[in-house]
Amino acid sequence: MPVTAKDIAWLAGLLEGEGYFGVKAKTSPVISISMTDEDVMARAGALMGCTPTRVNRQHANRKDLYRVQIYGIRAASWMMTVLPLMGARRGQVIKESLAAWHTQVWHRTHCKRGHAFDEANTTRYGKRKQRACRTCKNQNARENYHASKMREDKTLYFQHSLLEE
């Protein structure tokens, strides 16, 4: 479903009044909206590319609460899209969230030991295709190999000394 300017304006108004913008675990931007109107949450979820979840309420006499949450690059993209439509306070929170995200892992050009994240020295792993420094990974593998050989040698030495006694 193509998103129109009218849809963006509607979502910006909803987020201005009911939304939360932030950074999860200091690395991932997050947008969250919670309310009791299931149809509104379904529309917001459809626009942002997710489905609303029902939140269990502790008291039986309360209405069901629905929540829409997006993380990562999708949340950052929506933050940048609605930023010009937000008020001063929400706009500042979005800018701070994007700045915090920008300084984290995705935007680093070097690993923690100073090796460049270039095509030749970067490997990807896991479901989320996280980056890893190939030089550091190989160095760690060598160190682990030598440590295991040392443990093996000590075990063999210990077993040999027991046999001699």
- pLDDT single digits (tens) 70-93: 998 899 999 999 999 999 999 999
C-alpha to C-alpha distance for 26 and 123, rounded to whole angstroms: 23
How many percent of the chain have pLDDT more than 90?
44
Instruction: Using 70 as the pLDDT threshold, list the residues of the chain that sit under it.
Output: 1, 26, 104-107, 128, 155-165
Cα angle for residues 27, 28, 30 (degrees, 5° grid): 145
State the pLDDT at residue 7: 94
In angstroms, the CA 64 to CA 86 distance is 28
Query: What CA–CA distance (Å, rounded) separates 85 from 45?
Result: 19
78 vs 31: CA distance, rounded Å: 8
pLDDT at position 76: 92
**What is the distance of C-alpha 77 from the center of its chain?**
13
What's the pLDDT score for residue 161? 61
